[in-house]
Amino acid sequence: MSKQNNRFVIADKHSLKEVTTHQDLANGRGNGQAFVGISPEKGYISSTAGIQVVNLTDSSLS
């Protein structure tokens, strides 16, 4: 997890190459702090603005 502004990069687990980058983590209100995987399909990102859910199947945030 990068703590540089509000960017979140998802990388391929084998090559570590970028799959997608979310430029507006926490709707632009907070810096990323930590990531925890809950299942192969779901994870949580904490930020200074709260917690977001990551869909690890399609790399979307909610």
Domain boundaries, the chain: 8-55
Q: pTM of the predicted model, to two decimals?
A: 0.75
Say if residue 35 is exposed, middle or buried (CB neighbours under 10 Å; 0-12, 13-18, 19+). middle
Q: What is the DSSP string of 35-46?
A: EEE-SSSEEEEE
Q: What is the predicted pLDDT for the residue at 40?
A: 93
- Residue 23 has what DSSP assignment? S
Q: What is the predicted pLDDT for the residue at 1?
A: 61
Q: What is the predicted pLDDT for the residue at 5?
A: 67
Instruction: End-to-end CA distance of the chain: give it in Å, rounded.
Output: 17
Q: From residue 4, give the alpha-carbon distance in Å to each of 33, 41, 46.
A: 9, 25, 13
Interval 23-59: pLDDT, tens = 777 777 777 888 899 999 999 988 888 899 999 999 8
